[in-house]
Amino acid sequence: MAAQHGSPAGSAECAIEVRVVVFSLREQRLQVLLEPASAAPDPAWAPPGSRVTPVLSLEESASVCLSRFICRPRTFLEQLYTYGDPERDPHGRVISVVYFALIPFDAFCSPDAAARWFPVDEPPALALDYAGMLAYAVRRLRYKLEYSAAGFELLPEVFTLSELQRTYEMVLGEHLDKRNFRRRILQAGIIEPTPSQRRAAEGRPAQLYRYRPDAVAEVKARRLFP
Amino acid sequence: MAAQHGSPAGSAECAIEVRVVVFSLREQRLQVLLEPASAAPDPAWAPPGSRVTPVLSLEESASVCLSRFICRPRTFLEQLYTYGDPERDPHGRVISVVYFALIPFDAFCSPDAAARWFPVDEPPALALDYAGMLAYAVRRLRYKLEYSAAGFELLPEVFTLSELQRTYEMVLGEHLDKRNFRRRILQAGIIEPTPSQRRAAEGRPAQLYRYRPDAVAEVKARRLFP
DNA sequence: AGAATAGTGTCTCTCAGACATTATTTG
DNA sequence: CAAATAATGTCTGAGAGACACTATTCT
């Protein structure tokens, strides 16, 4: 039981893959991108995945995986969790390093017809343990939205305050007060107005804003303890 | 480029291990447990690690790894990040699933003489990319302390308010106001007084408290955005 | 008595949250 | 002018943060 010290040389061999849980706002809802799980007898879906290639890092592998669907480079990609229970795949042990990605609603262009979007709160039957993965990814996304600027990754470069508010409402699944929302988001100083306005087909034109990544918004939320 | 849909059967083979970044409070400082890295020509240290065994889950493997040092079962263990850059280990590609653990200062009993504690802000030379790992683990620990009850995992079953406050101060590296600290921690309702008092060698005896895991403290911190 | 640590209350100021009306455009 | 959406300010209550003295024990 003394076991190995330091780097355990000659480690175990394991099947390893990356999976990417891709979120976007579509049709006024938060949706997730899924593919048909190949080996399933029953129709079941899975987040896009691929093997880890020998020369790429994990994040690069996930990024390649994403590029099957995304035309534009700007993409939020973050590691979520690594799943590796021996029994999670009946065909043998697979370790899945899972990422989650946020893409603006105008950046999707799929040359891959088999993939489809599903609302996160009405997912289809998912293969293996992917349902738990998805639920965890949604929880993390909602959480991140509250203390980071992740929300902007779901919007195009320029947007109106109403669009930004709808983004928050769709992800969080709750209604927000318009005046309070504007006050807080403007006070935070993380967006700036652009010279132009949106000329809408309906109603009064809205001021367009742009996210300021430089205003790092490293502001910290209030502590719970102590 | 159509690539594989669903589960990528017949995945790549990769060396995979778990590592555990173990924190504890010792000598009035936050310290981390390290072992000599075996294969290193220069003396270098590494967080305890082991291969992933075929029958255990990742978390179980990490837990076994921990049990080399800990006598008591109560241990906070959480997955931190998975490192897998192709170049991180010159001896070949290794994927490290890293956990971090918190242990109370009275729960350490090492039968493993090679391991040593180091203050987190004065670490020794570390092998491979372990320095970055450690820095990230410290950041995450500080962050968790602020919005969860993780701090109690560093204390024994019963403790005084002064000890609890020192715990927070040691981890966060900043001074906290005594009255405000007590007010907030008591209002939160997550600790309760025990019948007994601590009879100190010096000064007035202090009331002992116990953590109430049932008071889930699922209270959320204030949102930053919006 | 002196040293050491435990324990306690108030005030101020910021900010979250609730809430309704006016302004600008298009057809 | 009707419909649609954009934009704007105030009040109230809760809580974070600053701050200093008394109480109990031991030697």
For the segment B34-40, the average pLDDT, to the nearest whole number, is 81
Q: Is A66 helix (H, G, I), strand (E, B) or coil?
A: helix
User: At A65, phi and psi to the nearest 5?
Assistant: -55, -45
Q: Which of B226, B57, B78 is nearest to B148 (CA)?
A: B78
Q: What is the pLDDT of residues A57-92, one digit of tens each?
A: 999 999 999 988 887 777 899 999 999 999 888 888
Per-residue pLDDT at A40: 58
Q: Report the share of chain A in percent with pLDDT over 70.
A: 87
Helix (DSSP H) and strand (DSSP E) numbers for chain B:
4, 10
Confidence check: pLDDT of A221 > 50: no
Q: Report how far residue B168's alpha carbon sits from residue B174's, in angstroms, rounded to the nearest whole number.
A: 8
Residues of chain A positioned with their CB less than 8 A from the CB of B91 = 7, 9
Q: How many CB atoms lie within 10 A of CB B116?
A: 14
Q: Give the pLDDT of residue B41.
A: 65
Query: What is the predicted pLDDT for the residue at B203?
Result: 86
Strand D proximal to A164 Cβ, under 7 A: no
Distance from C-alpha of A60 to C-alpha of A1, rounded to nearest angstrom: 37
Interface membership of A55 toward B (CB under 8 Å): yes
Q: Report the pLDDT averaged over residues B51-69.
A: 91
pLDDT tens-place string over residues A10-57: 444 578 999 999 999 998 899 999 999 876 567 899 999 999 988 999
Residue A25 β-bridge partners: A30
Contact B35 A6 (CB under 8 A): yes
Averaged pLDDT of chain A: 85
Residues of A within 8 A of B86 (CB-CB) are 54-57
pLDDT at position A198, please?
Answer: 82
Q: Integer distance in angstroms from CA B189 to C1' D9?
A: 37
What is the pTM (predicted TM-score) of this model? Answer: 0.88
Give the mean pLDDT of A170-176.
91
Q: Are strands A94-102 and A76-83 parallel, antiparallel or unpaired?
A: antiparallel
Higher pLDDT, B146 or A190: A190
The per-residue pLDDT for B8 is 44
CA distance A202 to chain B (A): 26
Q: What is the mean pLDDT of residues A131-148?
A: 90
User: Given this model, what pLDDT does residue A110 score?
Assistant: 73
Q: Rg of the Cα trace of chain A? A: 20
- CA to C1' distance (Å), from B186 to C4: 24
pLDDT of residue B114: 86
**pLDDT on residue A216:** 55
Query: What is the pLDDT confidence band of residue B7, given thresholds at 50, 70 and 90?
Result: very low
Cross-strand bridge partners of residue A96: A17, A83
Search chain A and give the residue with CA nearest B94: A11
Q: What is the mean pLDDT of residues B75-98?
A: 93
Is A103 near chain B, with CB under 8 Å?
no
Name the percent of chain A in helix, strand, coil, to the closest 5. 25, 30, 45
